[in-house]
Amino acid sequence: MLLDENKETLNISPKLPWLAAMAMFMQSLDATILNTALPTIAKDLNHSPLSMQAVVVSYALTLALLIPVSGWLSDKYGTKRIFSIAVFLFTLGSLACALSTSYSLLVYSRILQAIGGSMMVPVSRLALLYAYPKSKLLGVMNFVTMPGLVGPLIGPLLGGWIVDISTWHWIFLINIPIGVVGLIFTQYVMPNFTRGGKNFDIIGFFLFSAALIALSLFLEIGEGSSFEWWVIPSILCLAIAFGGLYILYSRRVNYPIINLNLFSIRTLRIGLMGNLFTRLGIGSVPFLLPQMLQIAFLHTSTESGMIMMVSAISTIIAKSQVVHLVHRFGYKKILITNTIILGFVISMFALPDKATPLYLLIPILVIYGAVNSIQMTSMNTISLADLTPEVASGGNSLLAITQQLSMSFGVSVGAMILRTTESTTWLTGGDIESSFRYTFLILGVITLLASLIFSQLKSGDGEQMSGHK
């Protein structure tokens, strides 16, 4: 159906947010469930457990690269058609991963899986933007975002538990029945919104993709030391060059793949920048904390996964309070205050040591889960607050790209800081426990500084979504 500007007249199924929530959960869970299972997979595929990064990076990078395409495809061919294809490809990719008999096949299968995943969440969120008026959007997005917060937190525990009781193949096989049900569900629930097709910007897509790939490679290989000294700065120069070329090119075409003019929308610009820097810390914690518990404190993978469940439970409980808090205090006060608290909480993960009982981590994880929940929903919805139907697709894609890249960069930056502090013997003496401690302190400071970005908001920003006066 062509988008009706009067959203109150659309006959939208009340199950649409559930379908979007399913997509959010599947993608977010799959992005992290491998973390604790990689050593087992490496052993089974006769590959080094220390060089399994491509299995994770290929998925995250493919997501980021193809997210811009999802908005164009859904606007031209319809949200229902593209979402159906996305779920099918994700399910097929999951089956291919489970059947992989070599490391290379697993990487290629993860790319296929990510092609579907790159469209599932953006298209479902775009359908919500088209289907609901702004007065209802905060509550709907709050509901849909919850599974996306839980997935990364339970992923490491679930992955470790599966490989303990069965084989790693079931990490991917569990997606298949969910995908089949989702595909059937889509035919009855998802509306087929279209907005007419524009020509696809193939040149812009190439320049933008090249810049992202080069930047990702810079962050990844920047952690190693087996390359010639000139390789790393050369890759960074390539990222800057392709990025600069894209900026120049995008100003000369009518419909670029990523419309940089969207940055003139102040709330979107602030929301995206806040997402990028805040998620460096948020993205690092689920990756670094289980490693610290296992490598430095010698706890088992099951113990480290179980303690992360505390944060997941806190996230769910706090989620129900986000709308009320934003209604009462407004976006500016909530985001500034919450970001400062989040920075201090991340720094508090530097306090425990090997002798600290695990239960003493529970208060920190409870606070972390709550403020993380508030932060994610508030950042996302303020980013979308001032988008009109004409720019909703582009703004939605830009937000999704920023989220995916910043979470990926968070893992890379966290690992880079960890290795840097470990090699800085005058600071840590090469002690891995001290390295984790300084890493969390640095990430906490980075997150704390992100509050300066949200200080640029105005008191009335987001009123049409929050109801705050």
Please give the average per-residue pLDDT across 453-466, as a whole number.
77
The alpha carbon of residue 348 and the mean position of all alpha carbons in its chain are separated, in whole angstroms, by: 23
295 in the same domain as 401: yes
Going by the DSSP 8-state scheme, the letter that residue 2 receives in this structure is B
Whether 192 shows a pLDDT value over 50: the answer reads yes
* Token pair for 211: 């810049």
DSSP E strands in 167-260: the ranges are: none
pLDDT of 463: 67
180 in the same domain as 88: yes
pLDDT of 318: 86
149 in the same domain as 250: no
Domain boundary among the residues 213, 232, 256 is at: 256
Q: Please write the tens of the pLDDT for every residue from 58-69.
A: 787 788 788 778
Q: Please write the tens of the pLDDT for every residue from 33-50.
A: 877 777 678 778 887 654
Q: By CB neighbour count within 10 A (0-12 exposed, 13-18 middle, 19+ buried), where does 167 fall?
A: middle
303 in the same domain as 357: yes
294 in the same domain as 152: no
User: Do residues 97 and 106 make contact, with C-beta atoms less than 8 angstroms apart?
Assistant: yes
The CATH number linked to 37 is: 1.20.1250.20
Please give the average per-residue pLDDT across 6-34, as a whole number.
74
pTM (2 decimals)? 0.76
Q: Which of 378, 383, 382, 377 is nearest to 399 (CA)?
A: 383
Q: Please write the tens of the pLDDT for every residue from 159-191.
A: 878 877 888 899 899 899 989 998 998 888 888
230 in the same domain as 174: no
Helices (H), 385-431: 392-423, 425-428
**Domain residue limits at 206:** 201-256
Please work out, in degrees rounded to the nearest 5, the angle formed at the alpha carbon of residue 454 by the alpha carbons of 453 and 459.
140
User: Do residues 296 and 433 make contact, with C-beta atoms less than 8 angstroms apart?
Assistant: yes
Give the model's confidence band at 153: pLDDT under 50 very low, under 70 low, under 90 confident, else very high: low
Q: What is the mean pLDDT of the chain?
A: 82
Going by the DSSP 8-state scheme, the letter that residue 197 receives in this structure is P
Which of 49-58, 293-302, 347-356 tops mean pLDDT? 347-356
User: Do residues 381 and 330 make contact, with C-beta atoms less than 8 angstroms apart?
Assistant: no
Q: Please write the tens of the pLDDT for every residue from 309-333.
A: 788 788 878 877 887 888 888 888 8
* Token pair for 74: 């859904």
Report the SS3 class of residue 194.
strand
234 in the same domain as 131: no
pLDDT of 7: 46
pLDDT of 223: 52
Domain boundary among the residues 177, 199, 221 is at: 199
**Into how many domains does the chain fold?**
3
